[in-house]
Chains A and B, each alone.
Chain A
């Protein structure tokens, strides 16, 4: 039994020099066979496992990770959470996800530091004003709480914004008061701890190198890994930037392209903004972490690459955009920069789907914006894997939509890559 985290546990441990804390999850050797094998221990893979156990009682599950858990995009993102998308299927899954974030710390008994501080997407052209008004109306119909606010309210909510910017004055903003941020690592660690507690095996440093099929219909039967052969009844591929590679092992192609996306953080400074601001026209966004660092993100490289660093000129572009939006940061020093490999689809919406191979399921295409979707995606994916058929949340996101022309176009809502 994993010990509960609580204020009493902290007091107890303080009395005994913190020697009683145990590891948050086990690191077992793989078993010969599992009911479900999940490839990829990012947020989406771990959340899928968690809801398989919690909602469907399926706990004979292994989560295989080639590196360390949460070391992919889940540990590299800028943690913005919002659900102000335009299309109904997106609003449904992103709002489900956002609402699960509200109680995640309690559900997991792990502090994920969800901070619904409010997310503001600036409108800096007439087109954007019209686009965001439309989104606000759509959100009202979808039951997602957002509003279009004017420049005075923008300045009130975030005094450090330069409203009369040199190129693009701020004309208003789409404001989601219950959007915000959470601690990315904690989301992965919290799910990992809960999965381990339910008896699931999280196996790190274990890369899937082949996928095996058998029987008359060629259904999946197992995988080869760097830690040996593992048999399974069902396989769920949740590997973000490496979706093409892993699906290639099972013999089918995906409508996915991998590209580097970067972020950077500054030295810590005193609290100066308590909302998240995204400026899609000038292309940059920023929020302040609890440590005081300014967390900054910008554009993706415009070509396929697997180097987790990205091109320098994107940093220049992003920083230029943010200095014109927030002049007070012009002399701030940057501490760190890094990149992640994002999985982009043609309509900027994710894929939660059955595949051409029976009992292989795929969850990918979250691209530049899937941190916010982790709990909702896990919820919907667990249903798909458990029942073999998608529920209402996942059904619109099947991969055959690209063949059928049934796109879920979120190129506007996706906005600046985040």
Chain B
């Protein structure tokens, strides 16, 4: 069972308290964007086997959104961080560089 520490309230929440929100740091599209941009935003996914960044919500706790860095193959959690950023922060990336040298994920590494 997955346990994530919510950066908003500090609780080490287990999976049944949380709801996954899918891939993190997507660029939103709006009126005026073309079909290809919408396809990318709505449907095309990184879906990596390894290092991944996601949005999660502490739904049955404080109710707030946050970000998670996780390995989808081993379920190791590298860290959680604020929802108010548009890229993984340096301290989280440093942890991943240490544990998964050579990792890559979209334009962030």
Q: What is the 8 Å Cβ interface bit string for chain B, positions 81-106, against chain A (1 contact, 0 not)?
A: 00000000000000000000000000
> How far is it, in angstroms, between the C-alpha of A105 and the C-alpha of B52 when the chains are bound?
44
The reply to whether B45 and A257 form a contact with Cβ atoms under 8 Å apart is yes
Contact, CB under 8 Å: A254 / B44: yes
Q: Does A313 have its Cβ within 8 Å of any Cβ on chain B? A: yes
| A258 close to B (CB within 8 Å) | yes
Assign chain A's interface to a size class: 20 to 34
- Within A334-353, the residues touching B (CB, 8 Å) are 345-346
- Contacts A302-B20, A304-B72, A313-B15 given; does A402 touch B49 at CB 8 Å: no
Counting CB contacts under 8 A, is B36 at the interface?
A: yes
Q: At the interface, yes or no: A242 with Cβ under 8 Å from chain B? A: yes
Is A403's CB under 8 angstroms from B35's CB? yes
Minimum Cβ distance to chain B for residue A143 (Å): 31
Q: Contact between A402 and B72 (Cβ–Cβ < 8 Å)? A: no
Give the chain B neighbours of A258 by CB distance below 8 A: 47, 49, 72
* Residue-wise interface mask of A (202-243) relative to B, using a CB-CB cutoff of 8 A (1 in contact, 0 not): 000000000000000000000000000000000000000010
Could you tell me the distance in whole angstroms from the C-beta of B35 to the nearest C-beta in chain A? 5
Q: Find B1's partner among A257, A312, A346, A403 (CB 8 Å cutoff).
A: A312
Q: Which residues of B contact A404 (CB under 8 A)?
A: 35
Verify B54–A306 contact, CB threshold 8 A: no
Partner of B45, one of A244, A307, A311, A312: A244
Q: Could you tell me the distance between the alpha carbons of A252 and B73 in the complex, rounded to whole angstroms?
A: 21
The reply to whether the CB of A8 lies closer than 8 angstroms to some CB of chain B is no
B75 interface contact, C-beta 8 A? yes
Asked if B42 lies at the interface with its beta carbon under 8 angstroms from chain A, I say yes
Contact with A along B25-65 (1 / 0, CB 8 A): 00000000001101100111111110010100000000000
Give the chain A neighbours of B46 by CB distance below 8 A.
244, 253
The answer to whether B75 touches A255, judged by C-beta atoms less than 8 angstroms apart, is no
Identity of the chain B residue whose Cβ is nearest the Cβ of A241 in the assembled complex: B49
A:152-171 near B, CB below 8 Å: none
Give me the interface of B with A, judged by CB distance under 8 Å.
1-2, 15-16, 19-20, 22, 35-36, 38-39, 42-49, 52, 54, 72-75
